Structure 1
């Protein structure tokens, strides 16, 4: 959530920044609503003060034995009470309207974010690794997996419908090995604390990280109890600090979780319908950091490196791009995307997004810390990133590691998790 004080002081500046990411803020309407809130609040405070004075006058009149004045003052107090109740209801409605508007506003892009309309204007920063050269016809991961008998899209569709895949035998083991490898790397090398969170969340939890209200159509909701299946472990991990105040010495908080993720993929019909690129259910290792505001940018750079280390050790060619203003996620202030090379598509595809959210999520959640030597708490900064999406890593391994005989080479870093196996199939 944006800082309401910033909107009150400089709505035109906020509108200009939001326009760079395609959001139009009606400044005149915002000013009118804010003016109404201020007027109502002032009048509520005036009436409360008058009621207090009247109540005191009633007591003084009774003490003096002036029952007529006491009755008159009491009647005035009752009238103030009725007016105050009506006005306070209107005031609360105005505040709720402002709150709803704030909840729908995206984060402000950092001034350093490249300005652009969409993903075509993202800025490529670097490429790591060379795409493999093949002396045989390249297959996509669907055909590679089908040839090995480890991917079964038909069974997935029969069980649950489109955008589901069953992993069999070596495919299921490869997925599990990827998850274990990533978790070990992030906990042992980078110091993240492993968390096993609930896979269901309340609406206020999803509101805290920004999935609600804007992205409700992309969430799966239970039929009767009102829970949501988590679209990413970012939701429960970040909300570990919800409505809490931590000591400065306890920062940073670094958390990692390996969970299934569930998404309707609303608005993506017709995109990536073949294979495992865009599924309703997929596994992902998620990284979250909660840090001191002074450490936000440095933590963001470091987290990108933590995700990159996964791809380097898996020997996968990838590139790093910074998202332009028009492609930023709702809660992000800055984002790096890691895109892995897929030979069958002859292009790079996103496998991780690493975002610095500044205090946007913290304000929604009420997540604060107490600076050393100070009484007043401050908002923390939050960061999140995939470390990485397991399904897309599996896709990349099958396509980049495919051999002429239909087998798939296993990168050395993953072999200990597969009993030393160097090839799948063959």
Structure 2
């Protein structure tokens, strides 16, 4: 199913206060009545008002994620002290959202979000569930694509998702799309056509005429074994970006967000005529132990000669939760919040690797988008980015989560000796310590 994120942000405090005043006023204003079925009001995990016949509902929720990052090495090339320790603090996400149901079969949702300096409405959709065999969603929404990407940012394992998702397009939110989702007790099937704000990761929404360019996405997920929270999960995804001579890029932050928000671009195809990708998912949880892995391939064909790029990669991770387990939503094929969040700890370790095989004509002259001097060591060789991530999550309450991650990364086939102020250092690796405080309701 389309991810329906709970409504996030600071305005929830106002709404809750208004509700409290309204409830208090009952003592002086008399009995509150409705023009329909009785109401059920819930304040645990956000503010939700619903009729007992389930014909109508309204839910207000929010999220705040505050990050602190200390990093060095290659991803700090553009800092004032080149490659040296850098400490940044920032709001990673702030969200407020509204979702609900009207006339039983019609769902709706909208979300206002702050994401590392960008403030916008990134959700505005309507879902129709009256067909029985499938739900149809129309509008601006986040698509289910890949196991860790489908999982809400509130409940992903690491502070950041595996950086393989930086190299993919299918996980991007739609600017406008139509999504059809069929779910069973232990499986889900999804098909979508959508237009994206920056088609093919940085291109224009339109093609070489006045029409917008639409991409196509498919996903299938299946849990062949499902017993409570014990589960074996399998999934497959396919996405065609339909670039229509727009730009296609392969770039990544390597899991490190910062004030500068630097990214490395390994391939930049100015005019792409084909951009297809697929992702395979596998995961399992038994008791408190959980393991998962994903593998992807993306093929970009340039219109000009010698401008193709092939990208492939994977990650594998294991985790153990003391005193609980992850919830699992079988129809949507995704992990959910832990079953116990009252002082629960989770430890995890993840290894990830991505290889970029780009023709010389697709490799940009400068790889770092914040500073010149980071270049390909050999334009005829592949780029390989590897990282080891270990971390701990502490779920203090259902609303409060604290996380600490350590990232050790390395990139093959880069040269930084030409970076101004870099003391002619050739740096191809680095480390980061990242902390997060999260509040959701």
- Of Structure 1 and Structure 2, the greater strand share is in 2
Instruction: State whether TM-score is above 0.5.
Output: no
Larger RCO: 1 or 2 (CA < 8 Å, sep 6+): 1
Question: Which TM bucket (shorter chain)?
Answer: under 0.3
TM-score w.r.t. the length of structure 2 is 0.26
Higher helix share: 1
Which is greater in Rg? 1
